[in-house]
Structure 1
Amino acid sequence: MPPIPPPFQIKDVEVTDRSTSFKGFFTIEQLTLKHRTFDGEWLGPFTRELFRRGEAVCVLLFDPKRQTVVLTEQFRVGAIDDERSPWLLELVAGMVEDGETWQQVAQRETQEEAGCQFYQLIPICDYWVSPGGCDERVMLYCGLIDSEQVGGVHGLAQEHEDIRLVTLSLEEAKQALADGVINNAAAIIALQWLQLHHKQLLSELTD
């Protein structure tokens, strides 16, 4: 099998014009650009709209002692037409602000949305959410917690947050995935990661 060829780089794209089409809670830019093609030529120039969302951090809260996960439940306008409910079961999550590291965001959002702190933070992966037209990049973590006193409703009033915490056993979380009750990318990826690495994780914690 031939090796995978190296990918193109940023230098293989030329942006000749960039303007802001909309600026509100989010920003939409219009770009005129061209890029190299696989046959060695150039494609373009052409225009694309880019939804500027920025970087986000999501944390799966896992209690290894009780074998439970703690999820958030809140209204999401993007899911307003969801047949089941626009209130989604998700991970603790937040946007990266200027000067913040991913780890700092994970710590801040865990406190704000769940009222607790993790004692260990394990990287899962980072991924582009919808790169066909959005620049949002998500960093996923698993945060190990003691969930005994974790629960209730949280969030910042000034950010119009109303976040209820939901604690599920690993089996309940697995069934919620199978039933489509958990239906957002970050939670699906993180919970599937936990299923794959659960035994190894517990082994490492008890060594």
Structure 2
Amino acid sequence: MMERTVQILSYETVHKGFYPKSVLRLRHSLFRGGLSAEVSRDVLELGAASVVLPYDPRTDSILLVEQFRIAPYLMDEEPWLLEAIAGRAEDGEAADVAAAREAREEANIELTALARAGIGYPSPGGLKELTTIFVGCCNLAGVDGGVHGAADESEDIRVRVIAVDEALAMAASGTLRALSALVALYWLALHRADLRRRWA
């Protein structure tokens, strides 16, 4: 087995905005042996994040949030994206606590149970973010169409309640395009019967 080595030559923060950016100069082990030449990598420093897809097992429906997103605007004709609830964890905040807090901020709902659907890096080539994805049990009666979000973050978030089968059809057609929501939704599809037994 190859020895895996990373030599950090420099690590500089070049931007301290909402998404801090660093530039690293480094060398790393090669599969063929030895070390690479010096390479430079840009990294957006986001830290830990939580995603939660609220699910009501009584109605077999989920909650998605809809908001304007700059990246789809720059790449696509439709910048209002349907997503699962998501946000960065505050310093020292556990992933499940962050998920519950974001559910209150973005949709004004309380989660009564959480199931972890996955944990991973959404874009490991340049995004320093470890995301924990949950499906959360909640009562979605009467919440469709509400507008929420944190004013100090300029959030303008509309809540959409959708039947799971309709959401799966949207995923299959490509109209549901937020990857974290797709991960949560496909996990829910695999565990739907069990969650309905446990949570209904």
Q: Using structure 2 for the length normalisation, give the TM-score.
A: 0.92
Mapping 1:164-183, distance limit 5 Å? 164-183=158-177
* 1:200 CA displacement: 2.7
* 1:157 CA displacement: 1.2
Mapping 1:101-112, distance limit 5 Å? 101-112=94-105
Q: 1: distance between equivalents of 2:86 and 2:136? A: 12
Letter paired with 1:15: I
Displacement over 6 Å in runs of 4+: none
Task: Name the counterpart of 1:88.
Answer: 81
Larger mean CA deviation between 28-37 and 195-204 belongs to 195-204
Deviations 1:166-192 (A, max 9, x none): 000111101111222210110111111
Pairing 1:117–2:116 present:
no
Any stretches of 5+ residues in structure 2 without a counterpart? none
Pairing 1:137–2:130 present:
yes
* 1:205 CA displacement: 4.0
* 1:202 CA displacement: 2.3
Which secondary structure does the structure 1 equivalent of 2:172 belong to?
A: helix
Task: Name the counterpart of 1:198.
Answer: 192
Q: 1: distance between equivalents of 2:18 and 2:34? A: 38
- Cα–Cα, structure 1 residues 84 and 196, in superposed 2: closer, same or farther, change >3 Å? farther
Q: 1: distance between equivalents of 2:128 and 2:38? A: 20
Task: Name the counterpart of 1:155.
Answer: 149
| Candidates 67, 75, 82, aligned match of 2:68 | 75
Q: 1: distance between equivalents of 2:20 and 2:163? A: 39
Q: Using structure 1 for the length normalisation, give the TM-score.
A: 0.89
Q: 2: distance between equivalents of 1:72 and 1:8? A: 45
Q: 1: distance between equivalents of 2:21 and 2:199? A: 45
Deviations 1:112-154 (A, max 9, x none): 1111111101101111111111112211000000111323111
Give % identity: 35
Pairing 1:57–2:53 present:
no
* 1:23 CA displacement: 2.0
* 1:68 CA displacement: 0.4
RMSD value over aligned CA atoms? 1.8
Letter paired with 1:106: A
- Cα–Cα, structure 1 residues 141 and 8, in superposed 2: closer, same or farther, change >3 Å? farther
